[in-house]
Amino acid sequence: MRGAGLAEIEALYRSRFDRFATVACAVTGSQTAARDAVQDAFASAVRRRGQFRGEGSLEAWLWRAVVNEARTQQRRRRSRERLEERAAALEPAADEPGDEPGAVDSFVASLPERQRLVVFLRYYADLTHEQIADALGIRPGTVAATLNAAHARLRPLLAGASG
């Protein structure tokens, strides 16, 4: 076990912040939840830096932490929204507009979770197939297949939208 240095973690945080934050925003769909996901993931990495085994890259280890924390935040957000929806169902409808996703957002949101994660890491974080595989704990071949599947799934949606 080699452990990770605090300075190394801080350097990656500062140099890759925009990418971590963008992926967290894409996964959670919320600025507040995304901020918490990135901050808490790095706080956890700081606490557990002695457990980093050095088997993969430190960046991949941090990506795994951010993606996992973002998924946790997303689940919490969904649970809270479900509770709020139940509460709202008992009250008259408010005329305050919500943050409805646009058509493009809806297409991407319609992808299964793994496809969405691979797409976000590929296009928003610019990670290679190998880095995505490291970050998600899957094989590079699976990354390529998942990306292909995502493109195949978007194809009819694009056709439907243009038709």
Partner 1 sequence: MERLSSALVEAARPRVEFDPDWDDVLVRAQPRRRLLRHAALAAACAAILAAGAAAASSPGLRGGLLSIFDLARKTDPAPTWRLAGPRILAAGPLGAAARLTHVDPATIREIAAGGSGYRRLVLVGGLGPDREPWLAQVGPGWASDFFPLFGALTQVDRPVWHTRTAHGWDGWQFPMYGRSDSHRALFDYVAFGGSRRGAVEWATLVGFARSDVAHVVVSTRAGARRALVVGTRGAYAYAAVRGPALPRTLTAYDAAGHVVGRDTVSLPLAP
The residues of the shown chain that bind partner 1, judged by CB under 8 A, are 10, 13-14, 17-18, 21-22, 25-26, 29-32, 34-35, 39-40, 42-44, 46-47, 96-99, 102, 104-105, 107-108, 119, 123-124, 150-151, 154-155, 158
Comparison of 47 and 86: residue with beta carbon closer to partner 1: 47
Cβ at position 8, least distance to partner 1 in Å = 13
DSSP string across the chain? -----HHHHHHHHHHHHHHHHHHHHHHHS-HHHHHHHHHHHHHHHHHTGGG--SSS-HHHHHHHHHHHHHHHHHHHHHHHHHHHHHHHHTSPPP--------HHHHHHHTS-HHHHHHHHHHHTS---HHHHHHHHTS-HHHHHHHHHHHHHHHHHHHHHHH-
Cβ at position 149, least distance to partner 1 in Å = 11
Cβ at position 134, least distance to partner 1 in Å = 21
Cβ at position 57, least distance to partner 1 in Å = 20
Comparison of 55 and 126: residue with beta carbon closer to partner 1: 126
Cβ at position 90, least distance to partner 1 in Å = 19
Comparison of 71 and 123: residue with beta carbon closer to partner 1: 123
Comparison of 75 and 155: residue with beta carbon closer to partner 1: 155
- CA torsion sign for 8, 143, 75, 110 is positive
Comparison of 55 and 105: residue with beta carbon closer to partner 1: 105
Q: Are 37 and 66 in contact (CB under 8 A)?
A: yes
